[in-house]
């Protein structure tokens, strides 16, 4: 993630919107991955269709390790974006 200085003159409304959109998108993807992990790990289903908002992705139980890793990465990204959000308000 890029470092943002909240007093920087180049930080206009477009920049703020970019960071807010990035945070919203990361949260949506996190939620969808979390649902997929839960569905695959706790149910009798063998595959799950994730709707990311832009596309639909089919995942299977075989994909669980990658989904768990991606969820961890997204959690870190969300925390960083929330920190940035606090600086650009």
pLDDT at 88 over 50: yes
In a domain, 6, yes or no: no
Alpha helix stretches (DSSP H) within 2-89: 13-42, 64-88
Q: Which domain holds residue 35?
A: 13-88
Of 7-21, 29-43, 58-72, 74-88, least confident by mean pLDDT is: 7-21
Digit-coded pLDDT (tens) for 13-63: 677 788 889 999 999 999 999 999 999 998 778 999 988 777 889 999 999
Q: Please tell me the total count of domains within the chain.
A: 1
In a domain, 68, yes or no: yes
Q: How far, in Å, CA of 29 to CA of 54, rounded?
A: 10
Q: Is 46 exposed, middle or buried (0-12, 13-18, 19+ CB in 10 A)?
A: exposed
In a domain, 4, yes or no: no
- How sure is the predictor about 1, in pLDDT bands with cuts at 50, 70 and 90? very low
C-alpha R_g of the chain: 16
In a domain, 56, yes or no: yes
In a domain, 7, yes or no: no
pTM: 0.78
């Amino acid at each position: 993630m890029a470092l943002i200085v909240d007093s920087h003159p180049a930080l206009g409304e477009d920049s703020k919107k970019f960071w807010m959109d990035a945070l919203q998108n990361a949260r949506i993807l996190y939620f969808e991955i979390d649902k997929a992990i839960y569905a695959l790990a706790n149910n009798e289903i063998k595959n799950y269709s994730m709707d990311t908002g832009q596309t639909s992705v089919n995942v299977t139980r075989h994909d669980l390790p990658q989904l768990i890793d991606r969820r961890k990465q997204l959690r870190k990204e969300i925390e960083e974006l929330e920190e940035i959000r606090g600086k650009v308000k």
